A and B are shown apart, each in its own frame.
Chain A
Amino acid sequence: MLETAVFVIRRDLLLAMRRRSDVLTVLLFFVIVVSLFPLGVGPEPALLRTIAPGVIWVAALLASMLALSRVFAQDYADGTLEQMLLSASPLSVIVAGKVLAHWLMTGLPLVLLAPVLALQFDVPQNFLGELMLSLLLGTPALSLIGTIGAALTLGLRGGGALVALLVLPLYIPVLIIGAGALDAAAAGLGAGAHLLLLGAFLVMAAAFAPWVAAVALRIALE
């Protein structure tokens, strides 16, 4: 069972490596969206410092959502998804493998890049750890929840915009807690409570989302 998950992860990473441009697009989108804000609100350092957590988190949220349609679309189009549904291993395990691979390609790069962007916003350097940690716990949760939306909208017209409509409201708790972690750290309260909550949310999402997405996939392929 675990073997299949590992196999799926390796396969998806291999596919991504042969098509690196897809991974880069998401990353560049993240960078550009974050860089637009100073142009929109002005270069006042105090203001930028205040909005930095929210901006980085919202941009990460949008970037991870943008990448969602790719989780299943290709496998759906070429018939591989059908084979996954008929696999000897539970579909939820395969989905979990796919989500992890998806996060490694689209989520992890955002986490690694975020501190650099935070410096653009004059975020004090001693908060960068909290920023990365909150993203490290939050972005996998986003990928997990988003997968449900991707599975539900598989093969529908207006897929991309529809996914946004379904998934963004569900992202709100992660956004609030994730961006709140930085605010709390900046206020001298420590980000511990926020990070614990994010962790709890991630555990819950990891337990249920692959299973729900598997149900949604079976519905979508009927």
Chain B
Amino acid sequence: MLEAIDLQCTRGERTLFSGLDFRLRGGELLRIAGANGSGKTSLLRLLCGLLAPAGGSVRWHGEDIRRLREEYWGRLVYIGHANAIKDDLTAAENLAIACALGGHRVAAGALRSALDQLGIGGSEHRPARVLSQGQRRRVALARLALSEHSPLWILDEPFTALDARAVDIVQEMIASHVARGAAVVYTTHVELEIAVAVALRIDLGAAAV
């Protein structure tokens, strides 16, 4: 499904990594590990197609994602470092926008249950301005509860700012998504075991100089 071939990434003058190859099938979980500055986020952005590789290619079912474009993006769910949350909108509105940009309309009831699942059902109609960092992260991650149809999740540090209970919930969501036969790529600093059949790991090592 998702395949990286001889992938190389440079930022400015630094080469973050090169010659990176991997293949990720449905039902597999891939964790990207590495020190700060080793290029974890850059790798995820490469896999999304936000960044053009300095060499090599990323393929989805054998086709270069830079040619597939919208066709690939319609399948993909990416939760980045930034939460993409607007202060002036309510939690429910923010979630609805995230889903609509991803290409599917969601009913109000589904929004509510997704927020409930992340434990912020009560804040549904409050503007995001009054939410804490952890709560904002939960709103962003609530999109996952509405993205069971997506065959590929790419998550950049999903556990930052979350409390222990929320970490458990998100871990559980990832595990059951992988069990459904989808692929998940994520980065994290937190050492934790997500219970899945196939867990792969790529270590980018120390920061590039």
Interface residues of chain A, those whose CB is within 8 Å of chain B, are 4, 7, 11, 14-15, 18-19, 74, 77-80, 82-90, 94, 221-222
Q: When the two chains form their complex, are residues B70 and A90 in contact, meaning their CB atoms are under 8 A apart?
A: yes
For the complex with contacts A83-B98, A222-B52, 16 further pairs of A-B residues with Cβ separation under 8 Å are A7-B97, A18-B88, A78-B83, A79-B80, A80-B84, A82-B50, A82-B78, A82-B80, A83-B101, A86-B78, A86-B101, A87-B101, A87-B103, A88-B73, A221-B50, A222-B51
Q: Mark B28-62, 1 if CB is under 8 A from A, else 0.
A: 00000000000000000000111110000000000
Residues of B within 8 A of A83 (CB): 78, 80, 84, 98, 101-102
State in angstroms the CA–CA spacing of A79 and B103 once bound together: 17
Measured between alpha carbons, how far is A78 from B143 in the docked complex, in Å?
Answer: 16
Interface centre among A79, A90, A94 (most CB of B within 10 A): A79
Q: Please name all residues of chain B whose beta carbon is closer than 8 Å to the beta carbon of A14 when the two chains form the complex.
A: 89, 93
The reply to whether A88 and B74 form a contact with Cβ atoms under 8 Å apart is yes
Contacts of A88 in B (CB 8 A): 70, 73-74, 102-103
Q: Which residue of A lies closest to B81 (CB)?
A: A79
Q: How far, in whole Å, are A87 and B99 apart by their CA atoms in the complex?
A: 10
Closest residue on chain A to residue B75 by CB atoms: A88
Residue of B nearest to A1 (CB): B70
In the complex the two chains form, what is the Cα distance from A160 to B88 in whole Å? Answer: 24
| Residue among A4, A15, A221 making CB contact with B101, cutoff 8 Å | A4
| List of 3 A-B pairs having minimum Cβ-Cβ separation, nearest first | A79-B82, A88-B103, A88-B74
Q: Are B50 and A222 in contact (CB under 8 A)?
A: yes
Question: Which of A18, A74, A82, A87 interacts with B102 by CB under 8 Å?
Answer: A87
Q: Which residues of A contact B86 (CB under 8 A)?
A: 15, 74, 78, 80
A89-B80 in contact (CB<8A): no
Measured CB to CB, the residues of B under 8 A from A are 48-52, 70, 73-74, 76, 78, 80-86, 88-89, 93, 97-98, 100-103
Please, which residues of chain B bring their CB within 8 A of the CB of A74?
86
> Is B48 a contact of A86 with CB atoms below 8 Å?
yes
Interface centre among A74, A80, A86, A221 (most CB of B within 10 A): A86
Min CB–CB distance A216 → chain B (angstroms) = 15
**Can you show 30 pairs from A to B with CB atoms below 8 A apart?**
A4-B101, A7-B100, A15-B88, A15-B89, A18-B88, A18-B89, A77-B82, A78-B82, A78-B83, A78-B84, A78-B85, A79-B80, A79-B82, A80-B86, A82-B50, A82-B82, A82-B84, A83-B102, A84-B101, A86-B48, A86-B73, A87-B70, A87-B103, A88-B74, A89-B70, A89-B103, A90-B70, A94-B101, A221-B50, A222-B50
Bound Cα distance from A77 to B50, whole angstroms: 16
Distance between Cα atoms of A87 and B97 in the complex (Å) = 11
Alpha-carbon distance A89/B70, docked complex (angstroms):
6
Which residue of chain B lies nearest to A85 when distances are taken between CB atoms in the complex? B50
Residues of B near A19 (CB, < 8 A) are 88
- Contact B98–A86 (Cβ < 8 Å): no
**Is A79's CB under 8 angstroms from B83's CB?**
yes
Known: A222-B50, A222-B52. A86 touches B76 (CB 8 A): yes
CA gap between A80 and B52 in the complex, in Å: 20
Closest residue of B by beta carbon distance from A15: B88
Whole-angstrom CA separation of A126 from B81 in the bound complex: 57
Of all chain A residues, the one with the shortest Cβ separation from B140 is A79
Docked Cα-Cα span, A78 to B70, in Å, equals 22
A90 to B81, CA, bound (A): 23
Instruction: Using known A-B contacts A78-B86, A80-B86, A82-B82, determine if residue A11 contacts B97 with beta carbons closer than 8 Å.
Output: yes
